[in-house]
Amino acid sequence: MSESATHVSSGKVREIYALDDDRLLLVASDRISTFDVVLPTEIPDKGRVLTGLSGFWFAQTASIVPNHLLALGADGRSTECRRLEMLPIECVVRGYLAGSGWKDYGTTGEVCGHRLPPGLVESDRLPEPIFTPATKAQTGHDENIDRAAAVALVGEERYDQAERLTLELYRFASERARERGIILADTKLEFGVDREGRLVLADEAFTPDSSRFWPADAYEPGGAQPSFDKQFVRDYCESLGWDKTYPGPELPVDVVDGTRGRYVDAFERLTGIEFADYLARPDVVLG
Ligand code: Q0Z
């Protein structure tokens, strides 16, 4: 980092630094988590792939909603952004039935108050994408909430605005991804409010860490789908009989290389830009 910065927060695989009162620096590491555990082995360039993808989507969606991005770092893994007042909900949209959505459907026939048709199977495509907000858990898992609970947290006007924008952004990104052989099954977006009271898209956007990416050519509803990016890691971890508690296993070099290849492939398919060009000049993703 060229500027002095104060560390303000850590995610499992990312860090936030304050540049000044108005600006933050988000830094994406090469760490990878599986089954909620960060592994001791890194995936080279993973942080760059995720940073480049977010930058790409922020640029592509700027006519739909303003975003927090100010600049990409020359290292390709850092994002200088506007500091916002973040909404206290995760804005999740689901086009397919997976994860906690599939679980909730099995228990109640509903997801976040959306009653779904009977007889759906795991990974089925939904009749239409649904907005399924969640609370932001400080530790443990986010909790799916219905409209009333989310309105109690952010107010009705903000809720309706966030829902409309989340659905519109998902439609835009999922169509582009599908044309390039990737199903964007669901995604989590985060919004903040700027000093003028405008809703602004923040954090990361349509990365494999904030979304479920499925290879379209292997799509087969009726069970869990292979993950576009992490499947080699999951399969390897399952093969060990690891109990999925800390610490996780070291990854062998073929699993690391194969997984890096999947991240780079996702980047190149979705952006249409060669990853080497991104490394040479990160701003290429901004168009
Ligand atoms: C994002 C997170 C990360 C840990 C806060 N533009 C913004 N303004 C204010 N706050 C945030 C942002 Cl993006 C903000 N997070 C999520 C990101 C590491 C947690 F890189 N937390």
CA of 25 to the centre of ligand 1 (A): 9
Per-residue pLDDT reduced to its tens digit, 48-90: 999 999 999 999 999 999 999 999 999 999 999 999 999 999 9
| Selection from 20, 18, 16, 45 nearest residue 31 by Cα | 45
User: Residue of the nearest CA to atom 13 in ligand 1?
Assistant: 203
CA of 203 to the centre of ligand 1 (A): 5
DSSP at 20: S
Confidence (pLDDT) at 2: 54
Number of CB atoms found within 10 A of residue 38's CB:
15
What average pLDDT does the chain have? Answer: 97
pTM summary value: 0.98
Single-letter residue type at 114: H
Number of CB atoms found within 10 A of residue 232's CB:
20
| Selection from 46, 42, 54, 52 nearest residue 187 by Cα | 54
Pairwise CA distance, residues 8 & 6, whole Å: 6
190: left (phi over 0), alpha (psi -120 to 50) or beta: beta
Under 8 Å between Cβ of 132 and 114:
yes
Confidence (pLDDT) at 139: 82
Under 8 Å between Cβ of 25 and 1:
yes
CA of 89 to the centre of ligand 1 (A): 13
Q: In sequence order, what DSSP letters do the residues of 100-122 get, joined into one string?
A: HHHHHHHHHSEETTEE--TT--T
Per-residue pLDDT reduced to its tens digit, 171-221: 999 999 999 999 999 999 999 999 999 999 999 999 999 999 999 999 999
Burial class for 195, CB neighbours closer than 10 Å (0-12, 13-18, 19+): exposed
Residue 95 pLDDT > 90, yes or no? yes
CA dihedral sign of residues 80, 282, 274, 57 = positive
Residue 162, C-beta contacts closer than 8 angstroms, at least 6 positions apart? 87, 89, 91, 133, 154, 191, 199
How much is the average pLDDT of 249-270?
98
CA of 64 to the centre of ligand 1 (A): 21
User: Residue of the nearest CA to atom 7 in ligand 1?
Assistant: 83
Residue 3 pLDDT > 70, yes or no? no
